[in-house]
Structure 1
Amino acid sequence: MSHIEKAEKQPTIDANPPPGAYSSYSQPQYYRQLGDPGPLGLYGFASTTFILSMYNVQARGVVTPNVVIGMALFVGGLAQFVAGMWSFATRNTFGATAFTMYGGFWMSFATIFIPGSGVAAAYTDETEFASAVGIYLWTWFIVTVLLFIASLRRNMGLIVLFFFLSITFALLGAGKFSTAHAVALDKAGGALGIITALVAFYVGTGEMLADPVTSWFRLPLGQIPKGRID
């Protein structure tokens, strides 16, 4: 154990414990100060979203998204999932839920395009496959709208992020349901996905520069005054 960890390892005992809270079997609880996992999760989300969105707008003529599989598995997926687990340890329920959910999203999304998974191969009708993916994307639209509601008292950066992400999922899902306007809706969803990714990069950087001791400047995130609601 390093000297820093030893210095941070302080017992915490409730000054007004409830009856029976301490017994002969009770041990002092020790806590170690943890870093903020938010920037890791936001960067993982932003970078993977940016790549896939560039493919959705067919940047440089790319229409096959399979290169994003590695990013989706290990950066958007694993890195975000780990950030979610660490957010639980820092008692950030919102961050833990969002990062873990979207980490799972990217890993599940990548699985669809992995040939060995057999997911895409199970569909012989392209229309049925598109509809199945559309339902999948609309489910994530619902999840994102709920997280958008939960973000309304956090900061403007997160509010803008989840707002654009909700519309992105709605457009991409609609594109899978529509045969006449599929390309246009995919491109529109890709364009909004790029905006979402840039906002996520900004918010992640803002959170990483939040410590005045280790940062020369801060990025405004539009903090919303907190007040108790009874």
Structure 2
Amino acid sequence: MKTSAPNPASLGLAGFALTTWLLSMINAGWFGGDALGLVLACALAFGGSAQAIAGLIEIPRGNTFGATAFIAYGAFWWSLALYLMYLHEHVVPAFVGWYLLLWGVFTFYMWIATWRASRALQLLFVALWITFFLLAASEWTGSALIHHAGGYAGLFTALVAFYLSAAEIINETHGRSVLPTGAPTSANADDLAGARTA
């Protein structure tokens, strides 16, 4: 049964997935800094703005988790793009590490909130906080190996987000579970993040 407000999860997850994939290819060492311009454009237009819009749509749906997640990660992409465009020469790597660590802390407790949601959503958030912690560690240690590991963790995170986005739109359009996301541990959390469970 459809709600009065549309389900924005497929949009928000797609914005997150696509932008995360692009940046993670650079972090994994597949491309160099000359590819960063397109990542920044996508971070502002899709990863940032589209996710924030998705979060705002979640508010009248009464979805606190979805609103918090989409608006927060939309703001993450905006802040990262602004930092890389204008401020990166004025911030020491150790402080960037703290920035990434704190996003990891936020993601960690958001992951705890997913424990009663679909298995796929749980996997997305655990992969994401691991990604943030690896990237923070790479800033503190200067280790290219850890940085590349963070990039590959980000690629995996993006794949899970793409899958969830596809599941959202395909399952809703067909009115049944075409792409399963794993049943939640509690029936009270069927729509915790706007993600349908199957």
Alignment of 1:144-223 (within 5 A): 144-179=107-142, 182-211=143-172, 214=174, 218-223=178-183
Distance 2:88 2:57 in 1: 33
Instruction: Give, in angstroms, the shift of residue 66 of structure 1.
Output: 3.6
Is the CA contact 1:66–1:113 (under 8 Å) kept in the aligned structure 2?
no
Q: Is the 8 A contact 2:24 2:151 kept in 1?
A: yes
C-alpha displacement at 1:209, in angstroms?
1.9
Displacement after TM superposition at 1:224 (Å): 1.2
Q: Which is helix-richer, 1 or 2?
A: 2
Provide the residue aligned with 2:68 in structure 1.
97
Q: Percent identity?
A: 38
What is the identity, as a one-letter code, of the residue corresponding to 1:62? G
* One of 122, 137, 140 as aligned partner of 2:90: 122
Between the aligned partners of 2:126 and 2:176, the Cα distance in structure 1 is 30
Task: List alignment gaps of at least 5 residues for structure 1.
Answer: 1-31, 124-128
Q: Which residue of the other structure, out of 82, 89, 95, is the alignment partner of 1:132?
A: 95
TM-score (norm 1): 0.76
**Distance across 2 between alignment mates of 1:173 and 1:225:** 32
Distance 2:185 2:132 in 1: 29
SS of equivalent to 2:24: helix
Change (3 A) 1:97 1:216: closer
C-alpha distance in 2, partners of 1:39/1:227? 21
Structure 2 alignment gaps of length 5 or more: 189-198
Please tell me whether Structure 1 or Structure 2 has the larger radius of gyration of its CA atoms.
1
Contact 1:172 1:186 in 2 (8 A): yes
Is contact 2:111-2:122 (8 Å) kept?
yes
Aligned residues: 185
> Where in structure 2 are the equivalents of 1:67-78 lying within 5 Å?
67-78=38-49
The residue type paired with residue 221 of structure 1 is: T
- Residue 88 in structure 1 maps to residue 59 in structure 2: yes
Residue identity in the other structure for 2:90:
A
Partners of 2:60 and 2:44 lie apart in 1 by 23
Contact 2:115 2:185 in 1 (8 A): no
Larger relative contact order (C-alpha < 8 A, sep ≥ 6)? 2
